[in-house]
Amino acid sequence: MDFVESLQPKERAILVGHSMGGLGLSIAMEKFPNKVSAAVFVTAHMPGPHLRDYNKREYTKSGFFYGFRIYIYDQGPNNPPTAVKFGPNMLASKLYQLSPPKDLALAISLLRPYPIFNDEELVLEQTKLSKGKYGSVRRVFIICDQDHAIDEGLQRYMIEQNPPNEVKVINGTDHMVMFTRPLKLFSFLGEIAEKYY
C-alpha cells in the first residue's frame, strides 16, 4: 500500500497480484483507484463488490486443504488456530506439481506458517469493495489451467461473477506459473503493460 500511496498525483501503476495477493491488490484498487492504471490477477483471489464470501465455500467444496495442513495454536488449544503450515505433500501435489523440482525443493526449505485471520467480520469490512472505486479500475485475469490450489473452476467462477476487462489463459501450468511458464507470463504482462499503461 505504501508504494501505491507514494505515487505522485499524475503517476499510475499496473499492479499484479498472485494467489492471496489478489486480496491486497483489491484493497489497493479500492483505496487508490486513480493511481492504478490496471490490476492483473494471476490465478489470484478476485473479490468484488458482490463477490466476497466465495473463498471458504469453494475451498471446502474442492477439498483443497484436506489432509495437507498443520494448525498452530499460539493462544492455546482451546482457542481458534492462529496460523496454518502447509506440508511438503501439499506443495508437491497442489501448488508445484508441474514446477521444476529445484523450485519445489526451495519452497519446502522456506516453508513458514501462514497467519489465519479469525475475525471474519473484520476481514469482510476491511475488504469492502465498491463499484465506484474498485469497479473503476481495469482488470485482467490470467487463468492457470492446471492450478490445483485455485482450480480452474474457481477461477472461472470468480470471472463469471465479477467479470474483468480481459481474460488470458496459460495452459500447462500449476499455481506457480512464474516457475512453470515464466516466459508466457512475462509475455502476457508485457502485452498488458502496452495496452493499459
Q: How many CB atoms lie within 10 A of CB 17?
A: 21
Please confirm, yes or no, whether 175 is among the known catalytic residues.
Answer: yes
Please confirm, yes or no, whether 147 is among the known catalytic residues.
Answer: yes
Please confirm, yes or no, whether 19 is among the known catalytic residues.
Answer: yes
How far is it, in rounded angstroms, from Cα 88 to Cα 111?
8
Q: Which of 18, 45, 148, 175 is catalytic?
A: 175
Q: How many CB atoms lie within 10 A of CB 116?
A: 12
Output the CA–CA distances (angstroms, integers) from residue 138 to 4, 50, 197, in the order listed: 16, 17, 11
How far is it, in rounded angstroms, from Cα 91 to Cα 135?
34
Q: Which of 18, 26, 99, 147 is catalytic?
A: 147
Residues belonging to the active site: 19, 147, 175
